[in-house]
Amino acid sequence: MSELCIRGGKRLIGDVTINGAKNAAVAILPAALLVDGISEIENLPYIDDVIKVKEAMEGLGAVTEFIDAHTLKVDASTVYDYNATQDYIGNIRASYYLIGALLGRFKKAEVAMPGGCNFGVRPIDQHIKGFEALGAKVVIEHGMIKAYADRLVGTKIYLDVVSVGATINIMLAAVLAEGTTLIENAAKEPHVVDVANFLNMMGAEVKGAGTDVIRIKGVERLSGGKYSAIPDQIEAGTYMMAAAITGGDVYVRNIIPEHMYSVSLKMIEMGIEIEEGDDYVRVIAPEILKATNVKTLPHPGFPTDLQPQMAVLLSVAKGTSTIIEGVWDNRFQYVDELTRTGANIKVDGRMAVVEGVSTLSCAKLAATDLRAGAAMIIAGLRAEGGETVITNVKYIDRGYETIEKKLAALGADIQRRPSKVTEEDC
C-alpha cells in the first residue's frame, strides 16, 4: 500500500506526454480475442486495469507478450476457454467486454459480473438487450453472466441510453455474426471509434463509428495485424487541469486536440489560454480563474470522467459555478472528502454548486475512485500549509501511468511512499 504526498504551491511548467487511452485499451485487448491469429497493440498505457485484462485473456488461453512497456503481442489462436471466473475479473468494469468477445468468437461466454468504480447503480441491461437481439440467451446466476447462442444473426438494435460499454460490446459480438447489425443511438466516444478502427484493421466491416448509427457487416474471420491505441483524452484533461490550478504553463503532448474541445473551451471560459498544435495543447493559466457552469454529457459533451478534476479547478475560481452530472446517478461521492481542503461544494442530487475560495489547505484525503483520486491530487497541487496525503492510491494506479513522476517532471513536489502517515503529519 502506498500513498502520495504533495506539497502544494509549485507552478507546473514544461512538457508532459500522454499515454494511450485506458478506456480504448481495455476494450481493444478483449477485441483481440476475436482475432484468429496474432495482433500487436501499441501505445497501451502500463496501468493496473490493462494488466488485469491481459491476465484475464491469458486465463482464457491467449498467449501474450510485452514487446516493450507499451506494446503487447496477443496470440488469440490458442484461446480455448469461454469461462472467465477469476476473482480479479469482477473488480474491473471492462471485464464485460470479455462477454461480447467470447460470445462473438465461440457463441458462448461465462464471465464474472463486472466491478469498477462505484457511481451508484451501473446496469448492463443495454448490453444484454443487444446480445439477445443478436440471438443469444443470457442469464445471470451465481455472480456470473452467461450468454449462449447457436448462431448470432445481425439485426437492428436501438440503445435506450447512450452507453459506451453497450455500444462496444454489441460491436464485438456482431463482427463475426451472420448478416448486418445496426446499432442506433450509439455512443460516439473516441474510444468507440478506436475499437471499430482496430476491428476494421483486423478485417471487420464496421462503418459509422463516431456517429449515432453504427453498421456492422459480419465477416467469417478476423486475422492479425498491428494497431496503435489513441491517446488518453481523460489523462490529457487531467494534466490540463493540474497545470491550470497551479497557474502553470504546460505543453500536453501526444494527444488529439479535437478530442479535447469540450474541455479546452470550458477552460477558455475560465480565463485560461489554450494554444493548440497538431498533437498538443499548451495550457497557460492566469493567477485568477473565472467561475463557469459545466454539464457532463456523452461525447462530444464534457466528459464525466473529468468532472471531479473540473470541480477542484472550479473550487478555486472566482465566483459561483455549477456542475450538472448528466451521465452517472451518483458521481459526487468524493465531495465530502474534498471539502476537508476547504473547498466549498454543495451537492443536491446530480447538481453541485461550487463557491470559489481563494486557497485550499492541505489535508489527508482518501481517493474514493479513479478520477476522484486524480482530482484530489489536483487539489493537493494547490493546497497550502504543508503536506496533502492521498491514500487509496490503488484507484489512481488503475488509470494513470506513473502520475507522480510526470507531475514531478513538471515541477510538482510529489512523492510516493509506503502508507503509514497519520492526520498529524498535515
| C-beta of 125 vs 336, nearer to ligand EPZ | 125
Dihedral sign for Cα 144, 41, 260, 341, please. positive
**Helices 190-201 and 164-174: angle between axes, nearest 10 degrees:** 10
**Residue for cell digits 487541469?**
241
Using an 8 Å Cβ cutoff, are 374 and 308 in contact?
yes
Using an 8 Å Cβ cutoff, are 198 and 31 in contact?
yes
**Element housing 405 (H / E):** helix 403-409
| C-beta of 125 vs 425, nearer to ligand EPZ | 125
| C-beta of 8 vs 303, nearer to ligand EPZ | 303
| C-beta of 209 vs 327, nearer to ligand EPZ | 327
Query: Which among 138, 167, 166, 168 is positioned nearest to 152, based on CA atoms?
Result: 138
Residue of closest CB approach to ligand EPZ: 165
| C-beta of 5 vs 33, nearer to ligand EPZ | 33
Region of residue 319 (left: phi > 0; alpha: psi -120 to 50; beta: else): left
Note if the bond before 303 is cis, omega within 30 degrees.
no
Order of strands across the sheet with 387-391? 364-366, 387-391, 2-7, 413-418
Specify the amino acid at residue 201: M
The residues, any chain, with a CB within 8 Å of residue 156's CB and separated by 6 or more, are 133, 181, 182, 184
- The distance of Cα 60 from the centroid of its chain, to the nearest Å, equals 24
Cell of 324: 450538472
Q: Give the residue ranges of DSSP H helices in 134-271.
A: 164-174, 190-201, 233-245, 261-269
Using an 8 Å Cβ cutoff, are 309 and 371 in contact?
yes
Query: Which among 43, 410, 32 is positioned nearest to 243, based on CA atoms?
Result: 410
Residue 117 bears catalytic tag = yes
The greatest distance separating any two alpha carbons of the chain, rounded to the nearest whole angstrom, comes to 65
Give dist(CA 244, CA 283) in Å, integer.
7
| C-beta of 79 vs 124, nearer to ligand EPZ | 124
- How large is the C-alpha radius of gyration of the chain? 21
Order of strands across the sheet with 137-141? 83-84, 108-112, 144-148, 137-141
Q: Which residues bind ligand EPZ (CB under 6 A)?
A: 22-23, 26, 93-94, 117, 122-127, 161, 163-166, 187, 304-305, 327-328, 370-371, 399
Query: Which among 234, 230, 244, 231 is positioned nearest to 410, based on CA atoms?
Result: 244
Enzyme catalytic residues? 117
